[in-house]
Amino acid sequence: MADWITVDLVYPLKEKQEIFTVRLPEGATIAQAIESSEILLKYPQIDLSKNKLGVFSKLSKLDTPLRDKDRVEIYRPLIADPKEVRKQRAAEGKAMKKGAGETSGEK
């Protein structure tokens, strides 16, 4: 008789996070959890060759074996590079400081 594990599969959307709970035989992998959940049928935009995967925020591969009560996460691609956004904000802040105290017209 095989032992079973229960795993949550999480996919974040803009407005909410979708959670699928699946029951799998012990030793099952992330790939088997994804297949069992049928998440790819509901969200065909998920591309496992592009979307990164993790277990409790630790990057993982499709062949990673799972344990009972693991949380498998499918990450969406970033809309903007966070480093680039910070650079842009810093540049805007410097531009604002340079103009501080100056008036637009002379009397």
pLDDT in tens, 58-95: 999 999 999 999 999 999 876 666 777 787 788 777 66
Domain holding 39, by residue range, is 4-77
Number of domains in the chain: 1
Cβ 63 vs Cβ 31: under 8 Å = yes
Q: What is the end-to-end Cα distance of the chain in Å, rounded? A: 91
Does residue 96 sit within a domain? no
Helices (H), 16-81: 30-37, 39-42
**Residue ranges with strand state E in the chain:** 4-12, 17-25, 53-55, 58-60, 71-74
Does residue 42 sit within a domain? yes
Does residue 89 sit within a domain? no
Residue type for 84, please? E
Question: What gap in Å lies between CA 45 and CA 39, rounded to an integer?
Answer: 10
Does residue 33 sit within a domain? yes
Is the model's pTM score more than 0.75?
Answer: no
